[in-house]
Amino acid sequence: MSVALFNALLELGDDHLILGHRVSEWCGHAPLLEEDLAMPNMALDNIGASRNIYTYAGEVEGKGRDEDQLAYLRLDREYKNCLLVERPNEDFAHTMLKQLYFSAFMEPYWQAALSSSDETIRGIAGKAVKEMAYHIRHAGEWVIRLGDGTEESAKRMKEAVEELTPYVEELFVMSADAQECADDGILPDREALRAQWNQTVANIFDQALLELPEVKYPQLGGRTGHHGEEMGFLLAELQYVQRAYPGMSW
């Protein structure tokens, strides 16, 4: 059990860390001062969740690895995040859509995890569920305004939908480890969250004048460590300090 739970926790922790890092790349570059505060807020919510998840994963593994070792000292093939979260920020349309797609999945996920048989999971879920609800609202309002905005913003929003929607399927994929945890009532069944995701996104797309395209060939591979080229650059930046100064702490 502990191996399956450890791996399933890495899937979760890596999703939050990598998305959090991506969002943090906007820090100091957002188009408005107000948004320059909002983006790091969201990034820190995600990174904060990953810290709790890694700490627990380290305990479950029982080999003395802490959050820093799990976050910073693995090779790219050892990261189990879905491909969606590592996609580059590109523009505001891509960034906000990525955030919406992810939080529209994680909000019902944490909601379901509130009735986990595992007390630590229930604790992590209780904090994260409120943060995800806010991320849906914040990213959703931007998607609506860009989708139903100017000619340029609508065009960019449509391009983001075309490009990012094939990555959504991987959120619902159950690895053997995740399945084992779901069977034991520790972590939620990802498959079962499809209807809620569809409803959240459909409500927003309806107002944003966007359509969800049919995906024939979903992009998969992150959960098994097969990442895109961009992931290497992301990790180089993310891991630099710990690699250059091993064991350094603040």
Partner 1 sequence: MLRSPMLKNGLRVKPHKLQNREEKMSKETPLWEVFIRPRNGLSHKHCGSLHAADEVMALQAARDTYTRRGEGLSIWVVPSKSIFASDPDQAAENFEPGVDKVYRHPTFYDIPEEVGHM
Q: Which is nearer to partner 1, 139 or 160 (CB)?
A: 139
Tokens read off for 32: 């408005």
Question: What are the two backbone dihedrals, phi and then psi, of residue 156, each rounded to the nearest 5 degrees?
Answer: -65, -40
Q: Which is nearer to partner 1, 137 or 243 (CB)?
A: 137
Residue 152 touching partner 1 (CB under 8 A): no
Residues in 78-97 at the binding interface with partner 1, rule: CB under 8 A: none
Tokens read off for 182: 């779901």
CA angle 109, 120, 47 (to 5 degrees): 65
Which region among 31-39, 107-115, 120-128, 195-203 touches partner 1 (by CB under 8 A)? 31-39
Which region among 35-43, 71-79, 172-180, 230-238 touches partner 1 (by CB under 8 A)? 35-43
Residue 29 touching partner 1 (CB under 8 A): no
In angstroms, give the least distance from the CB of 30 to partner 1. Answer: 11
Q: Which is nearer to partner 1, 35 or 91 (CB)?
A: 35
In angstroms, give the least distance from the CB of 4 to partner 1. Answer: 38
In angstroms, give the least distance from the CB of 29 to partner 1. Answer: 16
In angstroms, give the least distance from the CB of 11 to partner 1. Answer: 29
Residue 35 touching partner 1 (CB under 8 A): yes
Cβ neighbors of 6 (< 8 A, separation 6 or more) are 57, 60, 61
* Per-residue 3-state assignment (H helix, E strand, C coil) for 114-182: CCCCCHHHHHHHHHHHHHHHHHHHHHHHHHHHHHCCCHHHHHHHHHHHHHHHHHCHHHHCCCHHHHHHH
Q: If you search the block for the tokens 């999945």, which residue do you land on? A: 105
Q: Which of 25, 143, 132, 137 is nearest to 94 (CA)?
A: 143
Residue 145 touching partner 1 (CB under 8 A): yes
Residue 77 touching partner 1 (CB under 8 A): no
Which region among 60-68, 93-101, 135-143, 219-227 touches partner 1 (by CB under 8 A)? 135-143
Q: Which is nearer to partner 1, 34 or 119 (CB)?
A: 34
Q: Which of 186, 210, 9, 190 is nearest to 113 (CA)?
A: 186
CB-neighbour burial class of residue 167 (10 A; exposed 0-12, middle 13-18, buried 19+): buried
Which region among 9-17, 137-145, 216-224, 232-240 touches partner 1 (by CB under 8 A)? 137-145
Is-contact 223 11, C-beta < 8 A? yes
Interface residues with partner 1 (CB under 8 A)?
A: 32-35, 37-38, 41, 137-138, 141, 145
